[in-house]
Amino acid sequence: MAVEVVMPKLGMAMKEGTVSIWNKGVGDPVEKGEPIASVSSEKIEIDVESPAEGTVLKIAVPEGEGVPPGTVICYIGLPGEEVAAALAVEEDQKPEVENATSVNEQTEPITSVRTARNRVKISPVARKIAEAANLTIENIKGTGPGGRITKEDVEAAIKNSASPQAEEKKETFETHVKPLEETQQIPVSGIRKVIARRMYDSLQKTAQLTINMKADVTDLMALQKQIAQTVQNHYDQKLTVTDFIARAVVLSLQKHGEMNSAYLDDKIHLFKSVHLGMAVALEKGLVVPVIRDADKCSLIDLSRNIKTIAQKARQAQLNLEEMQGSTFTISNLGSYGVEHFTPVLNPPETGILGVGAVYDTPTYIGENLERRSILPLSLTFDHRVLDGAPAAAFLQTVKQYLEEPITMLL
C-alpha cells in the first residue's frame, strides 16, 4: 500500500508550509531516509526524507504551493503500484477534461501530456520561460541536479533553435521581455520567500511600535577588558558586548514578564522560561536560532551558547528544535556600523531588541566633560500586548544592567 508523505509541522504558530523544490519526480526510485523535497515555513527550510523505500507514485503539491501541516504532498509505493496511481490520477482529471471539450478523442492526449509533465524535473522559473517561448519541455535536456531543467537550459534551447518557426518564437519571446532586458531578475524562493512573506505578515497583522534609548557602556567595556584574561584562562572563552547585552535582556525579561510573551489566537501567552532568539545573517537570508532556557544560563554559558548556535547557523547544521520556540529576539547590526534602526517583530513574539554600533562621544558627567562609549538600543513591541510605558520600563531595565555591568555578575 502506498505511503503518504505529509507536510511537517515546523512550529507552534505554523499555519502553512511551502514546497520549495522537488528533488524527485513521479516514477523516480527513492531510498528510505533520502531527501525527496525541500519545504519551508515561517523560520526554516528543511529537507523532507522519504519514510520508505520505493517509487514516487504521485506528487500532490507542486513547487511554490503552500498547504497546511499534515497535508499529503506525495505518495511513495512499490513500482507495481504506479499503474494504479496513474489510473487514479486519470480518473480525477477525467471529469474536468470532459467538461472542457465535447471531442472524446482529445481526452487521452491531454492526460498524457499532463502525466509526462509531472515526470519532467524543471524549476518554476524555467517552466515559465519555456511556456512563454512555446518550447516543449520534454525536449529540453536538463543539466541541473538529477537532470533538472534550469533557467539556463531553457535559454540555451531558445538560443540554439535553428528552425524559422523557432526563430520567430524566439523573436516574439525576446520582444516580450525587451523592456526588462537591462534588469537582473532574481526568483524569490526558498528561505528568501519565507522571510519576505513572514515579514510582510508581521507588519500587516501586528501593531508595531519602536522606541529608542541609549546606554552608556563605558564601564561595561572596561569590565570586559578587565576580566578578559581571567575568563580566557578559566573558561577558554571570550566575552563579547553581545554576550553582556543578551544577559541584560534575559535578566530584564525576568523582571518584566509581559515582554516575554506571544500573541496567539486572541490570547496573550506569558512564558515562564526565556527562550532567546539570536538573529544571524546568512548569505541566503536571516535565521533566528534559539537558546532555550536562557534564564537558567550563567553569563559564561550564555556566551558559549551564542557562539555555538551562530557557528551552526553559518554551517547550516541547525536542527528543527534549535529554530523554533523563541520568546524574545535580539538583532544586532552593530558590526555593520548601524546605529538606530527599526527591527521587525518575529511573530508571534511580543518584542525584539535592535542593537546598534557602539560609538564614542563627549558627555558631561557632573561638571566634567568625558569621553564615553554609547550603545544605541531600539525596541520594537506589539502594542496589542502592552503599552508604551511598560515597554519603556523594560528597555530602561536593560539600560540599567548595561550601565551597571557588575550587577550581571552577581
Which residues does the annotation mark as catalytic? 383, 387
User: Exposed, middle or buried, 234 (CB in 10 Å: 0-12/13-18/19+)?
Assistant: exposed
Residues 339/374, Cβ–Cβ less than 8 Å = no
Distance CA 23, CA 31 (A): 13
Residues 76/54, Cβ–Cβ less than 8 Å = yes
Distance CA 27, CA 40 (A): 24
Residues 70/18, Cβ–Cβ less than 8 Å = no
* Set of cell numbers at residue 158: 531558445
* Set of cell numbers at residue 68: 497546511
Nearest to 352 by CA among 326, 334, 376, 375: 326
Peptide bond into 347 cis (omega under 30): no
- Number of residues that make up the chain: 410
How many of the other CB atoms lie within 10 Å of CB of 52?
14
Cα 156 from chain centre: 32
